[in-house]
Amino acid sequence: MKPTVLLYQSLPEALYKKLSSFADIKQFDTLSLDSNDFCSALANASGLLGAGGNIDKNFIDHAPHLKAVSTVSVGYDNVDVNALTKRNIKLMHTPTVLTDTVADTMMALVLAVSRRIPELADNIKQGLWVKGITPDWYGTDVHHKTMGILGMGRIGKALAQRAYFGFNMNILYHSRTEYTDVNDRFDAKYCDLDMLLQQSDFVCITLPLTPETHHLISKNQFSMMKPDAYLINAGRGAVVDEKALINALEQKDIAGAGLDVFETEPLSPSSPLLSMKNVVAVPHIGSATKETRYAMAECAVDNLIAALSDNVKENCVNF
Ligand code: NAP
């Protein structure tokens, strides 16, 4: 008998077919314990596949037959991993396939905010380009500046590669571990957080959200940054204390921010961040290309099939 899989995001047709040849699929738009249909599907499900949602102990208690959760993401801060592990439920994720795309997004944010691309492109559209540009439209150079990378994991390394080889940038980094291959390859310097904040022109966050990283960047940390430095965040929104960020931008403690992630998503249209010219905000598009989203979905389907077949070789978070 086929296992039952609860799917809570759409899949490309070929991947849906692949999964349905292995499992009976019950599809929903979101995870909602308020719906009786959803709860009865969850009560029978062996597998769960989708992205986001709050997969906490209460949710897992509604799934007595669950054997594997396959998230279409590398981050899993929305999942109570301990609760899954206690129940022997595997958590599968999709690292690697999205690394380069997220690093590209971060480099795009670096360039967009420092060279003021969205703001100046908007000026043309508004008919404000009526003569030669004046210094108040000048941006700030990226090449040969110092990039401080917070979190030297897969994405941090891919970002360092772009910044060092593409833009001749100096690389500082902070993570729990010092990596001699990173030091050698990018002529990078491992340092503590304070030094990274004090010396970087671009502070780039590629950290996961954990109890240790929650609000790691707050008022004190902004006060250590250079007034002409930029904050780039594509890790998780809550690594940064957003109120402190807004305050730092208003007080001109820092020059600007490039943000892919926010404490609450979707970001409220009334957020002060959206009325600041020196903020480039994008709607969590780090991995959002056609190619990479397909690769992530494919990886998640393969992960779930492997986990439900007791044939896991990679991409398992907790076993
Ligand atoms: P990864 O390879 O696991 O790298 C995470 C890095 O963070 C590691 O270098 C790790 O240090 C460091 N780190 C973790 N906790 C730390 C702490 N308390 N203090 C200092 N450093 C710490 O993960 P990845 O694939 O690069 O992804 C990183 C994160 O990016 C994900 O967890 C996710 O939240 C986010 N992300 C966002 C998007 C997007 O669309 N914006 C897409 C993908 C991922 P060690 O090296 O010492 O272990």
pLDDT for the residue 217: 98
Q: Considering only CA atoms, which residue is closest to atom 32 of ligand 1?
A: 208
Residue from 71, 176, 296 to probe ligand 1 pocket by mutation (most atoms less than 8 Å from CB): 176
Give the active site residue among 116, 236, 242, 298. Answer: 236
Nearest ligand 1 atom to alpha carbon 287: 40
**Which DSSP letter does residue 166 get?**
I
Number of the ligand 1 atom closest to the C-alpha atom of 73: 43
Q: How much is the average pLDDT of 124-132?
A: 96
Burial of 187 (0-12, 13-18, 19+ CB in 10 A): exposed
Average pLDDT over residues 41-67: 98
Mutate to test the pocket of ligand 1, among 71, 73, 74, 292 (most ligand atoms within 8 A of CB): 74
| Separation between Cα atoms, residue 97 and residue 156, nearest integer Å | 14
| pLDDT for the residue numbered 225 | 98
Confidence of residue 242 (pLDDT cuts 50, 70, 90): very high
Identify the pLDDT of residue 214: 98
Q: Which atom in ligand 1 lies closest to the alpha carbon of residue 193?
A: 20
Domains and CATH numbers, the chain: 4-96+291-309 (3.40.50.720), 98-281 (3.40.50.720)
- Measured CA to CA, the distance from residue 41 to residue 4 in angstroms comes to 8
User: pLDDT tens digit string along 87-112?
Assistant: 999 999 999 999 999 999 999 999 99
Note the pLDDT of residue 148.
99
Q: Are strands 230-233 and 202-205 parallel, antiparallel or unpaired?
A: parallel
Supply the pLDDT for residue 106.
99
Which one-letter DSSP state was computed for residue 132?
S
Beta-carbon contacts of 152 under 8 Å, excluding residues fewer than 6 positions away, are: 160, 173, 174, 175, 177, 179, 182, 206
CB count within 10 Å of CB 314 equals 11
Summarised one tens digit per residue, pLDDT across range 5-44 is 999 999 999 999 999 999 999 999 999 999 999 999 999 9
- Give 163's pLDDT tier (boundaries 50, 70, 90): very high
Catalytic residue status for 143:
no
Ligand 1 pocket (Cβ < 6 Å) reads: 74-75, 95, 98-99, 102, 151-156, 175-177, 206-210, 212-213, 234-236, 260-261, 284, 286-287
Helices 99-114, 117-125: inter-axial angle, 10-degree rounding: 60
Helices (H) and strands (E) in the chain, counts: 13, 12
Told to judge if 154 belongs to the known catalytic residues of this protein, a careful annotator would answer no
Residue nearest to atom 40 of ligand 1 (CA): 286
204 — pLDDT class (breaks 50, 70, 90):
very high
* Confidence bin at 154 (pLDDT 50/70/90): very high
User: Given ligand 1 and candidates 71, 94, 96, 206, which is best to mutate, with the most ligand atoms within 8 Å of its CB?
Assistant: 206
How many degrees, rounded to 5, is the angle at CA 231 between CA 227 and CA 237? Answer: 140
* Structure token pair of residue 178: 């010092």
Distance (Å, rounded) from C-alpha 198 to C-alpha 304? 44
CA of 151 to the centre of ligand 1 (A): 5
pLDDT averaged over the chain?
A: 98
- Answer whether 51's CB lies under 8 Å from 30's CB: no
- Tens digits of residue pLDDT in 63-83: 999 999 999 999 999 999 999
Residue 119 falls in the annotated catalytic set: no
So what's the pLDDT on residue 195?
98
Q: What is the residue with the minimal CA distance to atom 35 of ligand 1?
A: 235
| Span 245-263, average pLDDT | 98
Confidence of residue 158 (pLDDT cuts 50, 70, 90): very high
pLDDT band at 264 (very low <50, low <70, confident <90, very high): very high
pLDDT of residue 169: 99
